[in-house]
Structure 1
Amino acid sequence: MARRNLLVCFDAFGTLFHPKFPVAEQYATVARQCGLDGFSTEDVQASFKKAFSAESKAHPNYGKASGMGAPRWWTNVITKTFQPLAGNGVDLPKDLAPKLLHRFASGEGYALSPGVASLLRSLKQSVPAPSHPQIPPIVGVITNSDDRVPSILTSLGLRVHPLRFGSNTSPDTDTNPNTPQQEQHASAYDIDLHCMSYDVGFAKPDRRIFDAAEGMADQLAAAAASAASTRGGGGGVVLPWLKVYVGDEYGKDVVGARGAGWNAILIDHGGSGEGKEGGELEWLGDGPLEEVFPLDGPPRAVRSGSVQGVLTWLGKEVRRGKGERYGM
């Protein structure tokens, strides 16, 4: 069986993390804390939907092309959400937008899916044997989002590499000086790269956002192989990828991933799959990695009831194949 390095990327919102409670409810709660009242959560939901749609049409990609940046873009959405509810001529509280911006750029508004942090860490800490100096799994995020995702994940307790598409960060940057050199890539970070539509300029299901992530992973792999060669461990050869994308939307995540040559795992929240796009997909089960996603043939898609189940399966398979398959 040919050996491959494992590249697994995740959707962010709804897959790795989710709102602590509904966004409209949080908007309404913060507004009332700021002294604004006289509306229901349903009113906020309807007004937010209209404001978000209008701002997306006027300034696509969270305002990046317009030069306003995401914070100003979201401030406009917040203003357009609450101004109709407050009434014409009524000044909105000055602290309303800053409080909401802070909440939804941090763990104040979001929660990590249970068990994800420890499962990611276990997957990333599978260090290659000295006789097989290839890299451990590369874990990334591919998401249709503005640039808040790294700060959200950091605030939720994950160790996040500063590498993001379009940044000047070196792929071999390690901010943990206490990590042994041969284990730096394995254990220094839980998330190795970020590929956000805000930075790339293309959103899922466009294959270009997946291609951008693969290009970043190539940089990380080349840096790791070069480091292994420098240490005299052989190395220097970058293996082909086993690419897996995990997300909870069939049209964006499964269709997009397979169109870009990635295998896909659809998170089927609730586990029924009936009457939904992707309902025909087979369940992930506990089969060997090389059988679920074979080297030959077109990319495959399966589904799982939870991201925790996917991470548990991947961790088991990486440990099983250590020193034999997938760069382990």
Structure 2
Amino acid sequence: MSAAKAAGKENLLLCLDAFGTLFTPSVPIPVAYARAAARHGIDCGKSKQGEVVGASFKQAFKEESKRNPNYGKATGLGAEKWWGNVIRNTFKTFLKPNQEFPQALVAELLKRYSTKEGYDLYDDVQPFFKMLRDEATRRTGSSPWIWDKTIVGIITNSDDRVPGILESFGLSIGPRRVGTADQRSAKASFSDDINFVVLSYDVGIEKPDRRIFYATTETLKETLAGNQEGLTAEGFEKLYVGDDLEKDYDGAEAAGWNAVFLNRNMSTPESNTEAESKWGLGNGEVEDRNGSRRTVLMAKSLGALSRWRAGNHD
């Protein structure tokens, strides 16, 4: 019997970050922006165009965030118009005298970064969700996945495009959100790959603020309300996995969750077994943004989570 089950936790709420954890830009965003601009007649220069466009993008993003926080939701602007402003302000310094901004550029970039067109799914994502689907229908036989019921959520600092991006990769995404009353009460299906999505855009708070994790716990309770299996939130261990040390790992632990830092660049000792070398789960030393070094529980791949047990990093 596992330590988790011995403590009465037979089920798992597994929540994942999205950008940088499940998918990543297929081309560096400044480079893709510069190439798109060139197709619409904006010359960003031949040399180091990615660097200059990247710097301009960061400045435009920062200024727009100050004017219209939370991707424009705080001021009623909305995410689509917010990103339109960012795109136009990114390229305004590259326009020639009397050159009008090509509105089609906004449409192209909004479309590109609303689906898999602009991103690559990490290689371990589809196999991991297939494993979870197989586990959900398994009736007999041994398995490294110890949990009787697994509910999967997304917690991400992002606007409302994330569910559509994940769906475009073929994952099934439940309709439940932390948003409007209809979104909060949308019928949850335990058969979806991802049962609900918690966006900072909806909550109004970003990781590492622990309140976004509290909102997720409430979403779990709402998702389980009235289920025929008698499942309750108290019977679920909570685990969060992401690629940002401060926002993901520290934020989750501060909210009382278990956490795994996803580090796909992590090296594994030669003495590990073949499986451990492939998946890599264990304690490792990392350096935070303040230059301090500390030990955290890291995974090299989502597949490593089959080896995770509550308390196994103590």
TM range (shorter): 0.7 to 0.9
Root mean square deviation of aligned Cα: 2.5
What aligned pairs does 1:1-328 form with structure 2 within 5 A after superposition?
A: 1-4=6-9, 5-39=11-45, 40-127=49-136, 136-167=149-180, 168-169=182-183, 173=187, 185=190, 188-224=191-227, 227-228=228-229, 235=230, 239-271=234-266, 276-277=287-288, 280-282=294-296, 302-310=297-305, 312-313=306-307
Q: Is the 8 A contact 1:8 1:245 kept in 2?
A: yes
The residue identity in structure 1 corresponding to 2:37 is: A
Superposed CA deviations along residues 198-238 of structure 1, whole A, max 9, x for unmatched, are: 000000011110011111111222333xx23xxxxxx3655
2:285 and 2:233 mapped to 1: Cα distance? 41
2:112 and 2:209 mapped to 1: Cα distance? 30
Task: Say if 1:46 and 1:114 are closer, same or farther in 2 by CA, change over 3 A.
Answer: same
Superposed CA deviations along residues 152-185 of structure 1, whole A, max 9, x for unmatched, are: 10011110001111241465726xxxxxxxxx51
Which segments of 5 or more consecutive residues in structure 1 lack a partner in the other structure? 175-183, 229-234, 283-301, 318-328
2:236 and 2:129 mapped to 1: Cα distance? 19
**Other structure's SS at 2:175 match:** coil
Task: Say if 1:275 and 1:237 are closer, same or farther in 2 by CA, change over 3 A.
Answer: closer
More strand by share: 2
Q: How many residues align?
A: 274
The residue identity in structure 2 corresponding to 1:16 is: L
1:171 and 1:279 mapped to 2: Cα distance? 43
The residue identity in structure 2 corresponding to 1:113 is: Y
Task: Say if 1:236 and 1:269 are closer, same or farther in 2 by CA, change over 3 A.
Answer: closer
**Other structure's SS at 1:194 match:** strand
Question: How many Å apart are 1:240 and its aligned residue?
Answer: 2.6
1:129 and 1:41 mapped to 2: Cα distance? 48
Which segments of 5 or more consecutive residues in structure 2 lack a partner in the other structure? 1-5, 140-146, 268-283, 310-314
The residue identity in structure 2 corresponding to 1:147 is: D
Deviates more, 1:95-104 or 1:82-91: 82-91
Using structure 2 for the length normalisation, give the TM-score: 0.80
Instruction: Report 1 or 2 for greater relative contact order, CA contacts < 8 Å, sequence distance ≥ 6.
Output: 1
Moved over 6 A (4+): none
Question: How many Å apart are 1:309 and its aligned residue?
Answer: 2.8
Superposed CA deviations along residues 73-119 of structure 1, whole A, max 9, x for unmatched, are: 00000000011112453212221000000101110001111131231
Identity of aligned residues (%): 41
